[in-house]
């Protein structure tokens, strides 16, 4: 893996290797003058509207996140600012798997899509982009109650069980969002991608913990409202970064529901505006609902419930014994006794850990064919084997170098010569046998001496089960990663000429040079780029701010007014742009 640039940010520097695989370089130099104009238009519109409906002061929030209205932010600027409030930022390539996204939040690192939406998707894009991620998520990060919720959500989400169907749906959504962001995608291809998403959504089976958590994330972090039910404010990033939906969502035809645990019952479609939104009175309520849901999850319930979820997921999962020993692998078998786990089994590479740190000599290379072990109390004892003192172990015949026969209450028997006894945290966690035989109460062989040494986990109960390995980096876990790449435009000569025109306008805004030269830019726009409206709007803004070239300004205004009247798809964009020329954003607030 190439060296990761952490921008001297402690949060970024602390990221583990399995998360760094998703990080891409921002390549700031790839942003075009049109990209910066798109950013500026959206941000000015955001401030104009959101100053009245956003939960937090928009411009101060931008400044605390290292953002300005005038230009796309650099990762260095964002990390310098976010580092002051204990957060960091990295850039990724579009959608990443939900489990990874959640884990970044747990590390207090914002995931920023490096790309920016195309001009023809300026109001809303189904694909993650730098406007959504930075202008939507970052400004509210400065709110302590909110960023505590965000990181806590990440720590819960990082342990959620997910299924193969979850990843297939993620792939389908990612592919659709990429297609919809492409300027010349075939309608048939988009239709097929939409049908694939619909089919996946209809064939998910029982939703996984990750699927349900994703709903809570959507209805809070992305599309949340806060305050009184009849007069809420916006805090969700999906709304804050959509200049179309941030306005339409406040209308009466969008139902406003109190935010409770019932939000998990509501599915969502990322490609459409939302028919209802949820309103929380406080950010503390978000944590309360999350706690309520977390109590239903495998990592808190453990036992037979959690192990069965692990088996169903067919992914790498971790079971935690009451002794603290962690077993990571793909769980394939479970035996129970009186409703409690009595025997667990993984198949394929497995590993043992304690406190999320790999146990030396017990990595997946050693346990390459799987791991199995009893769970529970020894027959005739009410005290857990994990809590036996040295004298109690000796009295039970459990001593290094001696033959032992352990019979569990479940009927499982383990016999052989004890090679080693491993303890940590004041608990016996692992007993290693040579020449070992393990059988269940029916005499079925669970371990044969010919299979080698037997490492028997020690613990009365399985107290937690969660998705992923305990020590992900030692396990060298490669998270499911999409093979579908995002679209990156290649510009023809005509478009590159348009970029130059936008840059000339931008240069004059920044240097206040000869505005009369803008007449030449306008002439080139009319001759070669008659469909453009944003560059024309930026020229008009400069001219009217300085009361310069009134005839030229009148021509451009007439062009824009005619386009708005004759082309409905541009009407709101142009009218909103003209409104901002008449009611400009204060420059002192924009820097």
Return binding residues for Fe cation: 132, 137, 222
∠ CA 298-304-309, nearest 5°, is: 50
**CA 395 → CA 141, 369, 388, distances in Å?**
58, 34, 10
Q: Which residue matches tokens 């899509």?
A: 113
Tally Cβ neighbours within 10 Å of residue 461.
Answer: 18
CA–CA separation, 426 and 323 (whole Å):
9
Binding residues: 132, 137, 222
Measure the CA dihedral 291/297/301/303, to 10°: -170
Q: Look at residues 41, 133, 125 and name the one whose alpha carbon lies nearest to residue 590.
A: 41
SS3 of residue 454 by DSSP? strand
CA–CA separation, 500 and 523 (whole Å):
14
The per-residue b/e assignment along 96-121, b for 16 or more CB within 10 angstroms, e otherwise, is bbbbbbbbbbbbbbbbbbbbbbbbeb
The DSSP code for 131 is I
DSSP element (H, E) containing 318:
strand 316-321
Percentages helix, strand, coil for the chain (3-state, rounded to 5) are 45, 20, 35
Contact 340, 304 (CB under 8 A): yes
Residue 274, token pair as written in the block: 């939302």
Contact 426, 283 (CB under 8 A): no
Dihedral sign of CA atoms 548, 549, 554, 560 in order? negative
CA–CA separation, 534 and 499 (whole Å):
12
Phi, psi at 327, each rounded to 5°:
-110, 120
Residue 363, token pair as written in the block: 């990595």
Residue 548, token pair as written in the block: 């310069």
Q: Look at residues 463, 464, 466 and name the one whose alpha carbon lies nearest to residue 157.
A: 466
């Amino acid at each position: 893996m190439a060296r990761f640039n952490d921008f001297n940010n402690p949060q970024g520097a602390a990221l583990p290797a399995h998360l760094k695989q998703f990080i891409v370089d921002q390549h700031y130099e790839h942003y075009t003058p049109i990209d910066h104009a798109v950013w500026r238009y959206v941000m000015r519109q955001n401030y104009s509207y959101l100053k009245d409906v956003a939960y937090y002061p928009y411009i101060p929030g931008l400044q605390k996140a290292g953002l300005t209205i005038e230009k796309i932010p650099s990762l260095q600027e964002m990390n310098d600012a976010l580092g002051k409030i204990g957060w960091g930022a990295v850039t990724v390539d579009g959608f990443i798997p939900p489990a990874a996204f959640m884990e970044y939040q747990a590390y207090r690192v914002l995931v920023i899509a490096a790309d920016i939406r195309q001009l023809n998707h300026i109001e809303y894009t189904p694909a993650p982009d730098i406007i959504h991620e930075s202008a939507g998520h970052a400004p509210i990060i400065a709110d302590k109650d909110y960023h505590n919720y965000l990181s806590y959500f990440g720590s819960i989400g990082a342990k959620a069980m997910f299924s193969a169907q979850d990843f297939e749906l993620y792939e389908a959504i990612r592919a659709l969002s990429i297609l919809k962001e492409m300027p010349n995608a075939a309608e048939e291809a988009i239709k097929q991608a939409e049908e694939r998403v619909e089919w996946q959504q209809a064939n998910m089976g029982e939703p996984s913990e990750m699927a349900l958590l994703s709903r809570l994330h959507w209805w809070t972090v992305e599309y949340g409202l806060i305050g009184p039910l009849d007069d809420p404010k916006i805090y969700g990033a999906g709304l804050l970064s959509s200049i179309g939906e941030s306005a339409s969502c406040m209308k009466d035809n969008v139902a406003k529901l109190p935010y409770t645990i019932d939000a998990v019952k509501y599915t969502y479609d990322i490609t459409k505006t939302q028919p209802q939104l949820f309103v929380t009175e406080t950010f503390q309520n978000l944590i309360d609902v999350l706690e309520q849901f977390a109590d239903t999850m495998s990592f808190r319930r453990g036992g037979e419930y959690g192990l069965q979820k692990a088996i169903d997921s067919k992914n790498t999962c971790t079971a935690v014994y009451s002794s603290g020993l962690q077993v990571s692998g793909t769980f394939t078998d479970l035996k129970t006794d009186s409703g409690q786990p009595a025997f667990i089994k993984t198949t394929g590479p497995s590993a043992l850990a304690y406190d999320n740190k790999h146990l030396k000599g017990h990595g997946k290379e050693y346990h390459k064919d799987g791991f199995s072990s009893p769970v529970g109390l020894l027959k005739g004892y009410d005290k857990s084997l994990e809590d036996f003192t040295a004298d109690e172990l000796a009295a039970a015949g459990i001593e290094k170098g001696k033959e032992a026969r352990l019979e569990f209450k479940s009927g499982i028997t383990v016999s052989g010569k004890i090679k080693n006894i491993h303890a940590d945290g004041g608990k016996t966690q692992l007993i290693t046998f040579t020449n070992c035989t393990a059988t269940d109460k029916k005499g079925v062989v669970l371990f044969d001496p010919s299979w080698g040494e037997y490492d028997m986990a020690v613990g009365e109960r399985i107290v937690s089960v969660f998705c992923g390995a305990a020590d992900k980096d030692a396990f060298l876990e490669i998270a499911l990663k999409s093979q579908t790449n995002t679209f990156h435009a290649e510009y023809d000569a005509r478009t590159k000429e348009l970029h130059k025109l936008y840059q000339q306008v931008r240069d004059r805004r920044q240097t206040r040079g000869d505005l009369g030269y803008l007449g030449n830019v306008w002439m080139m726009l009319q001759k070669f780029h008659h469909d453009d409206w944003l560059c024309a709007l930026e020229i008009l803004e400069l001219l009217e701010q300085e009361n310069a070239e009134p005839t030229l300004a009148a021509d451009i205004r007439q062009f824009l007014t005619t386009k708005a009247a004759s082309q409905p798809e541009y009407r709101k964009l142009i009218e909103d742009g003209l409104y901002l020329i008449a009611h400009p954003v204060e420059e002192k607030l924009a820097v």
